[in-house]
Structure 1
Amino acid sequence: MRDLDSGDAQEQPNTSAVVKEREAGKIAFAAFVGTALEWYDYFLFGTAAALVFNRLYFTTLSATAATLAAFATFGVGFVARPVGAVLFGWMGDRMGRRPALLLTVVCIGVATGLIGLLPDYAAIGVAAPLLLALLRLLQGVAVGGEWGGAVTIAVEHAPPEKRGRYAALPQIGSPVGTLLSSGAFSLVLLLPPDQFDSWGWRLPFLAAFPLLLVAVYIRRKVEESPVFEEMEKQEKRSKVPALDVFRKAWGRLLVAIASALLGVGGFYVMTTFAISYGTGTLGLSRGLMVNSTLVAAVAQIAVIIVFGRLAERLGPGRVTMWGGLATAVIAFPVFWLIDTRSPILVVLAITAGVAILSTAYAVSGALLAELFPADLRYSGVALAYNLAGALSGFLPFVATALLDSTGGGSWVASLLFMGIALITAVGGLYGERLRVRDEVVVR
């Protein structure tokens, strides 16, 4: 089971570092706050793609074609994320985790704020969707280096037996980012439709500028990883980390991608696609669908906290496996509930879907970080997570296209949801057997 790659990755000696337990919580919290602000910026685009961009930036297309175009632009960010993983992974594994994390937050904050200033198709024509895609591309590159770095620095500051809880803190940044972004859209949706279309939708994006200042302040206070500092002293840094991941740890990379697939792709099936399906196909209100994601985000926080701690006892791979299997079981029922058009059942379905898939997502940081040795960790984690994103980021697009071609049945989305859940279950099964331990001294 341990010969999934060339073997070089597991034969490398682990770094030895001094970890200060009293600092672990502070560093993990700082990683969480920065990650929450980053995901706020990134998730805004998904909601806007379902509610705004299809009407204001692709106005010459039919309703279905405009939604497909908006989701394709949404998916561009996922394609860009592996590029960011290579770029910031190189920086994080060669120059340090801290400088890479400072740069990612600046890039995504600027890109998000500029979207709020971007004229629509009626004002500048075809340049509007092109510039929108370009800014989404920049968002994707920045996020490609964000999550992997946040998880890496949180894990490397933590005692080995407590990595599950500290690795879960950056994970909470995702539902908090959802709460912030969905909450912001819920507020501006209270505006009259003409005001929402003309300027209201821009306000959540423009808020990225002051939030950027907060994020930079927080990231500047994060100390460098002691594991990286020890690795730097011993001159164990890889010259081209991304290349070495593919050469020396390709089997681990495949397992990591599989284990991360549900947390990324499944989430967007239950949020971005579900919002579009509910409003476009079922005729449900935009407010109902957006508010459903708010309730789901609260449930997701609780799931991440509980299963992050549970991973320390059972192992993150086992939790991932059982989370994938549980999600596969509920894949059809959640969409059957959405199809009822009952507001209570719709909220219940989206909340249940997001909560159960989050079982695997809760421990994804701990599992991925321990699948790679320290000299390849930032790059390996970032590549795995973002390749999973690139593979699954177009799921809302695929589901919408198949929905239209099959006459609107939700079974298409259910099958996609079930498929990625089962792949993640397999990734968790193998991942538990391939974990790498750092040699650290806890003080």
Structure 2
Amino acid sequence: MSDSATAAVSASEPTDITATDRAVARRVAVAAFVGTAMEWYDFFLFTTAAAVVFNVQYFVSDNALTATMASFATLAVGFVARPLGALLFGWLGDRVGRKAVLMTTIIGIGVATVLIGLLPTYASIGLAAPVILAVLRVLQGLCVGGEWGGAVTIAAENAPASSRAVYASVPQLGSPVGTILSSGAFFLCSVLLTKDNFDAWGWRVPFLLALPMLAISVVIRRQLEESPVFTALQKEATVAEAPLRQVFRRDWRQLLIGAAVMFVGAGGFYLVTTFVISYGQRVLGLSSSLLLLATVIAAVVEIPVIVSGGRLGQRYGSSRVVIGGALATIALAFPVFWAIGTANPVIVVVAMTVGVAAVSYPYAVAGAVLTSLFPAQVRYSGVAISANFAGLLSGCVPLIATAILTKTGDTLWPSAVILTLIGLIALAGGLLAPRYSVTEAGLKH
């Protein structure tokens, strides 16, 4: 690595993280990845179902748009719960340890998902069905709120400094893998089953598959190593007494910067996938199978994007990758939605894939950037709160985009404007992140 590249990395990576055993680092990164893959499988199941199932099975209305907006509102409820989960599990992660919290969150996510698969519909139990669905969504959101922040924190804190951006990007692979598994499961069920069977019971199968996946995830995650950084804090008796108060009082700027960095990978992704799936069916007349297949293809492409993004972050600095990805998102926003508006199946698939690839470069290095913004005592809390504040805004993106359609005659240009604004927010985060990193600010535990 060149001197300039090393300087770029050191300007955005914390110096209080030490690990010398690469085998341990790899094992921790894999365990973190398995958990996040399970997390996003469960969470993306809900986002996909919100677009193709829940608006019919749980929200009954003579107006298709009203039912869709009600379904997306339930989707957004989970994102509202995520910051609360970040507060709770972030506090626990900084007080009692990373490993124990990560076991709790993954079990909570899996149980909520299986129960959704067993939930009777509106036709069976009436108004109780959407109410229970919303409660399970809240439980899911609470646990997701503590999962990602802990996964990237423990991966980064176990990683050698020379390759931290790469190891911190491994949990990010859980997002496309979860998307592939969830969208792929829905796609196969919709293709192999008749529409009547899919609507009656087939859509439940992907949710129930979360049970064996949960068992596998728990077995692998039990082998997770506790962070050496947190272990050192315990030995030195320097664990934060009140991590939430500390992070909000001292590190509030970093919270906003971290949220800005995360927003493009989350909000941009849901705009190009969940919103487009709904819009494509309702307005463009495209089949749900085609749109789910497009999501799977986009997720497959996202895997090498994340891998290359992590390597670029290690070589040139994670913040620079955020800036580059944000600029690409801004440049591609209008072309992507123009292409989707053609309703040509091939062009729509390509456009969704390109859009997802653009927003995934900042997402690839988000773990490295966010862990660099907070000192060890409050790192879990800071990373979780930042990520889930962005998640809260992101969960509202499909709902906002759908609501705007009613005012613009189902035209797509407002969606392109939304994606452009998301890119600009991420650009600001990427530009500000090095200035407030742990290294540059001299903040160590």
Q: TM-score, normalised by structure 1?
A: 0.94
Aligned to 2:37: 36
Q: 2:353 maps to what in 1?
A: 351
Superposition map of 1:8-407 within 5 A: 15=16, 17-190=18-191, 191-407=193-409
- Amino acid in the other structure paired with 1:169: V
2:301/2:357 contact within 8 Å kept = yes
Query: Which runs of 4 or more aligned residues in structure 1 lie more than 3 Å from their structure 2 counterparts after TM superposition?
Result: 13-19
CA distance in 2, matches of 1:263, 1:287: 24
- How far residue 15 of structure 1 moved from its aligned partner, in angstroms, is 4.6
Give the direction of change, closer, same or farther, for the CA distance of 1:40–1:325 in structure 2 (3 Å limit): same
Q: Give ranges in structure 1 of 5+ residues lacking alignment.
A: 1-12
Q: What residue number does 2:5 align with?
A: none
- Matched to 2:265, the amino acid is G
Quote how far apart the aligned CAs of 1:17 are.
4.8
Deviations 1:319-347 (A, max 9, x none): 10111111011001101111111111011
3-state SS, counterpart of residue 47 of structure 2: helix
User: Which residue of the partner structure matches residue 8 of structure 2?
Assistant: none
Tell me, yes or no, if structure 1 residue 434 matches structure 2 residue 436: yes
Greater displacement, 231-240 / 183-192: 231-240
- Per the alignment, in what secondary structure is the counterpart of residue 411 of structure 2? coil
Determine the structure 1 residue equivalent to 2:9: none
Match for 1:255: what amino acid?
I
The C-alpha deviation readout for 1:99-125, integer Å capped at 9, x for no partner, is 000000000000000000000000000
Deviation at 1:74, TM superposition (A): 0.3
User: Deviations along 1:200-249, whole A, 9 cap, x unmatched?
Assistant: 00000011111111111111100100011001111221122122111110
CA contact (8 A) 2:19 2:160 kept: no
1:16–1:182 Cα change, 3 Å: closer
Deviations 1:60-108 (A, max 9, x none): 3510000000000000010000011011111111101000000000000
Distance (whole Å) between structure 2 residues aligned to residue 301 and residue 374 of structure 1: 29
Please tell me the residue identity of whatever aligns with 2:357: A
Aligned partners of 2:154, 2:439: CA distance in 1, in Å?
15
Give the counterpart letter for 2:169 in structure 1. Answer: A
Give 2:382's aligned amino acid. G
Structure 2 CA distance for aligned equivalents of residues 112 and 19 of structure 1: 38
Tell whether the 8 Å contact from 1:93 to 1:375 is kept in structure 2 after alignment.
yes
**Equivalent residue for 1:3?**
none
Residues 55 and 68 of structure 2 are in contact (CA less than 8 Å); yes or no, is this contact kept in structure 1? yes
Given the superposition, is the C-alpha separation of residues 157 and 308 from structure 1 closer, same or farther in structure 2, using an over 3 Å criterion?
A: same
SS at the partner of 1:133? helix
CA contact (8 A) 2:75 2:137 kept: yes
Deviation sequence 1:380-410 (CA, Å, 0-9, x none):
0000000001122111000001012210000
Conserved 8 A contact 2:17-2:158: no
Shift of 1:21: 2.2
Deviation digits for residues 245-288 of structure 1 (CA, Å, limit 9, x no counterpart): 11110111111111111011001001100100111111101111
**CA distance in structure 2 between the aligned counterparts of 1:273 and 1:240, rounded to whole angstroms:** 39
Give the letter aligned to residue 54 of structure 2.
Answer: F
Query: C-alpha displacement at 1:433, in angstroms?
Result: 2.5
Letter in 2 for 1:405: K
Cα distance in 2 for partners of 1:426, 1:437 equals 20
Secondary structure of residue in 2 paired with 1:224: coil
Q: How many residues align?
A: 427
